[in-house]
Each structure stands twice: as C-alpha cells, then as structure tokens.
Structure 1
Amino acid sequence: MATPAQWIEGARPRTLPAAISPVLVGTGAAAYVDGFVWWKALLALGVALALQIGVNYANDYSDGIRGTDENRVGPLRLVGSKVASPGQVKTAAFTCFGIGAALGIVLAATTTWWLLVAGAASLLGAWFYTGGKRPYGYRALGEVSVFLFFGLVAVLGTTYAQAETITWPAVAGAVSVGSIACALLVANNLRDIPTDSVTGKRTLAVVLGAPRSRQLYAALVILAFVLAAVSVIATPWTLLAFIAAPLAIKSIRVVLSDAVGPALIPVLKGTGQTELLYAVGLAVGLALGG
C-alpha cells in the first residue's frame, strides 16, 4: 500500500507548472482585452491540474503494466516500483479525469458548449498517450500532444472562457508556453533514451537521437523568448517574461553539455521553473498592457 507521500510523488509535482502556466498566460491574455473573470480562471486551473495529475497517473499505470518503468531513472513510479497496484493507480487516474470533466462542464455551461469538444479531446489525449493498444506516446507523437493540449488548447481555452475572444498575443502566448512544455518532455525523454530504446518505447528522443534532441530542447526554449520579444508589438510589458531567462540558460547549458541519466533530472525541475516564471512574467505583462 503506497503512503500518502508516495502518492504525491507519483503525481509528479514537478510537472504541474505545465498545467498552471497556460492558465496564467490565458488569463493574462483575457485581462489584456479587459475580459478577466476570476472564478472562470480558477475553474480552468482546476481542469488543467486535474488533467495533468490524471495523465501522470495514467502514464504510471500504462507504462507500469508494460514493464517500461522497471529500470527507470527518475521520480518514483507507483506501478513500476510495486508500491501500488495497477488497479489503484488506474482508479486514481480516472478519478482525476472525472474531477477535470466535472469542472470543465461547469466552465462550458457558463461560456459555450463547444468547450466540451476541447475537453473531450483532452481526456482522450491524456489516456491514449500511453494507454490503449496503440499509444501515440510510443510513436514519437508525445510532443505534438503536449504542444496542442498544454499550449494551444489550454491557453486559448482559458482566454476564450473569460473574454469570449481570441487575440494574436494570446496565440503567441499559447505557442510559447506550448514550446516550453514540449521542451520539458524532450528533456524527460532524452534522459530515458537508454531504457526506452530497450523496451521499444519510440519517443521522439529515441527517433531523433540524443544530439538532435538536445538541439531541439534548446530551440524550443529559445522560441518562447523570441515570441515574448515579438509580442512587444502589442505591449512592451511582455518583456517581463525574460525574468525566466537565467533559469532557461542554465538548463540549456546542461542539456547541451552532453549530460545523461541522473544528471538531466535537475533540468526537469529547471525547465518547469522556467515555464512557470515565464508564464508569470508574460501574464503580468499582458495584463499591464491591456
């Protein structure tokens, strides 16, 4: 029986910035057009957190029953380390999905029912990332999913739920946050290339190889800051996103230094912190510029 501390670790708290950041940027973009609605922002945050934790448990379950986590380097996996049964972890995943769905229905009911389409797609994407007979996360499509759901859908959905409109700064923010979220997954999969290659998990990092994956990580992070600089056309306050630049540079240096295995674990933390700090700066900048 897993302890509460192990369940918390299994939820992978270091990945939560990927859920919080797009809601912050989407809310900042709503404030930019004077559309901020605090309770809708909180609902969107609840949906994002529930889905992020749910997908973490779902990945734990699916990877665990396939045996791909038995020799994993990194945070605790509940099924792979046998501290919780597959059934318990699967139940935890679907409980989180249920909470996210309930909050999403409330948000859609007070905005537009079209949000349910995005919500349903997000739930299916969360489960079939590593679940089902043909998981797309094993076919080098994980980064595409992360960019779509934790970038475009999360940011633009949050903005539209509050302001009921989409602006180009919101789109730029969605692409930038999605890029850093992708970089986080690239770093994670770069660390796991040796074990994923053996178990047949064809992530994008396995397909590209370590050198190109390192270059892709750097390019994705840099792209986010380029977009923040371009967004000064809307308001110069978007330069506040550059408060995350020192953290980003530190992580890029580690990745490009040919670090492997456990040496890449701090990069996951650093990239998560970069994304969150970037989102705070960009959200505040958009709100101030509105």
Structure 2
Amino acid sequence: MATPADWIAGARPRTLPAAVAPVLAGTGVAAYDGAWDDWQGVWWKALLALVVSLALQVAVNYANDYSDGIRGTDDDRVGPMRLVGSGAASPGAVKRAAFLAFAVAGAAGLVLAATTAWWLVAVGAVAVLAAWFYTGGSTPYGYLGLGEVMVFVFFGLVAVVGTTYVQTESWLWPALYAGIGIGALACAILVVNNLRDIPTDTVAGKRTLAVRLGEQRTRALYLLLVLAAAAAVVAVAVATSWCVLVGLAFLVVALPGVRTVLGGATGPALIPVLQQTGLAELVWAALVAAALIVCG
C-alpha cells in the first residue's frame, strides 16, 4: 500500500510552480489594470484561480501516472517514482485520486464561472478533457507529439488570460503576452522531461515531440523556449511599464538548466533541470507581477 509520502511524490510537487506561476502573472496584469484597487472584491477570485490551477496540475500528474502505468510506459522509468509503474498503488486508486483532483478544480471553477461568466464552464470542461486525454484514452495526444501544444495553450495562455479575466472581466493584451512567456517555460519543463525519456518512450511507442525531433533538435527547442520567455518579458514591458524588464532576471535561474541541456546531459542528469525550469517560471511570474503591481 502506498504511504502518504508516496502519494505526495506521485503528485509531483516539483511541477507545482508551473501551476502557481500563471496565476501570479495573471494577477499582476489585473493589478496593473486597477482590479485590485478594490482588493476585497477580487482577492478570493485570485485564490480560487490558484486552487483551479493547482488541482488541475495534480490531476494531470495522477492521470498521467495512471494512464502510462497501465500501458507499461513506466515499467523502466528513469525519472521520479510513479505510483502505478512502481506497484506502490493500484491503478484504480490512482485514477480515483486524479478524478478527486479534477473535482476540486471543477468546484472552484464553477464558483468563478457563477460570479464572472458562465461560458467559463466550457473552457474548464475543455481543460479537464485535455488533461485526461494527454495520456488517457485509446489515442492520447501526448503519444502523438502534441503535448507541448496543449501545455502552452492551457498552462500558459488559458491559465494567465483566464486569471486576469476573472478579476477584470476584460481582455488585456499584456495578459496574452504574459501567457506566452509562462506557456513557453511550461513547455520547456515538458520538453526536458521528454528529452530525458527519449530512450524509454521510443521503446514504449510513445511518440512525443522529443522522440520525433530527436535529441539535438529537442535541446535546441529547450533553448528557444527560454528565449521566447525572455522576449515575452519585453512584450509585457512595452505594453505596460519598462520596469517590468526586471523580469529578465529569471534568466539567472534558467541558465544552469540551459547549460545542462546544451551540454549533452542525459537520463538522471536531466532531472534537476525540471526543478530549475519550474523555478525559473515561478521567478518570471513573481518578478513580472511585482513590477506590474509596483508600477501600476
């Protein structure tokens, strides 16, 4: 039977910065637009957006654990422990944990939709379906090389723009630019994860984007995504205030991971890059949000 520590490890807490970052960035844009002038009316919306984002991230992690585990993809895993693949928990238990996390995200999302706009329910439903069918179902799109696209859309654009929208009830260009930056770094996390797993994914028939591109081009893609995140900081600064350029300091955190990836590291040597990239994304969001709040 899986221990509480096993379940926490299965939730992959090192990926959670990717859930916090879009809410930080989106809230920063909302504050710059004046939404927090009456903070009592929006703080709880930001909190609920954070609950949605965190719960979806945990749900995705458990869902991937379940789906990859029953397919045998994790039988010879290099990365962090998986509950099903290691035999620590039954597939049914992990599936129920995923659905419980989806339910938490759905409940928080319904409150936001009821107090903002009901069409957000449709957005949330699509996000849940995208999370499940990443590795679930008969033809998971994560096995077809489309995982990065969906991560960019849902953990970048939708998460940031959605967070801003529920607080301002308006569409703002800086939110889109911030979504591009956050989405690029969220994709970078998945890219390095799939770079590490190229050998085992190839054997398992999992045709991720890294498998399709090959090792060298995947490493180049990682660098490109980090540079895109830097360009997004500049775009947000142009649309708001030049003090946002302080966000470029995220590169200090990102550079060790870039050096590791471009240096040819493989297997377990790439595991620290996951945490470094997640931290870089969180720093990106925190610095940009702080600049928007201060200079707004």
Structure 1 and Structure 2 fold alike (TM over 0.5): yes
1:237-248 aligned at under 5 Å gives the runs 237-248=243-254
Shift of 1:289: 2.6
Aligned equivalent of 1:272: 278
**3-state secondary structure, aligned to 2:85:** coil
Aligned equivalent of 1:31: 31
**Percent sequence identity over matched residues?**
60
Aligned equivalent of 2:3: 3
TM-score by length of 2: 0.97
Which residue identity lines up with residue 198 of structure 1 in the other structure? Answer: V
Q: Which runs of 4+ in 1 moved over 4 A?
A: none
Q: For 2:162 and 2:236, how far apart are their aligned partners in 1? A: 20
1:154 counterpart = 2:159:
yes
Alignment size in residue pairs: 290
Which residue identity lines up with residue 82 of structure 1 in the other structure? Answer: G
Which residue identity lines up with residue 20 of structure 2 in the other structure? Answer: I
Which residue identity lines up with residue 76 of structure 1 in the other structure? Answer: M
Shift of 1:240: 2.2
1:98-122 Cα deviation digits (max 9, x unpaired): 0100110001001000111110010
> Paired residue for 1:132, among 137, 150, 163?
137
Shift of 1:149: 0.3
Q: For 2:200 and 2:127, how far apart are their aligned partners in 1? A: 28
Shift of 1:230: 3.0
1:237-279 Cα deviation digits (max 9, x unpaired): 2112122211111111110001100110010010011001111
Aligned equivalent of 2:119: 114
Aligned equivalent of 2:259: 253
Aligned equivalent of 1:54: 59
Which residue identity lines up with residue 34 of structure 2 in the other structure? Answer: D
Q: Which shows bigger deviation, 54-63 or 218-227?
A: 218-227
- Note the residue ranges of structure 2 that are not aligned, 5 or more in a row: 37-41
Which residue identity lines up with residue 245 of structure 1 in the other structure? Answer: L
TM-score by length of 1: 0.99
1:146-225 aligned at under 5 Å gives the runs 146-225=151-230
Aligned equivalent of 1:98: 103
Q: For 2:129 and 2:217, how far apart are their aligned partners in 1? A: 30
Which residue identity lines up with residue 17 of structure 1 in the other structure? Answer: P
Which residue identity lines up with residue 21 of structure 1 in the other structure? Answer: A
1:210-245 Cα deviation digits (max 9, x unpaired): 100000000001111112123322201211212221
Q: For 2:294 and 2:179, how far apart are their aligned partners in 1? A: 18
Aligned equivalent of 2:39: none
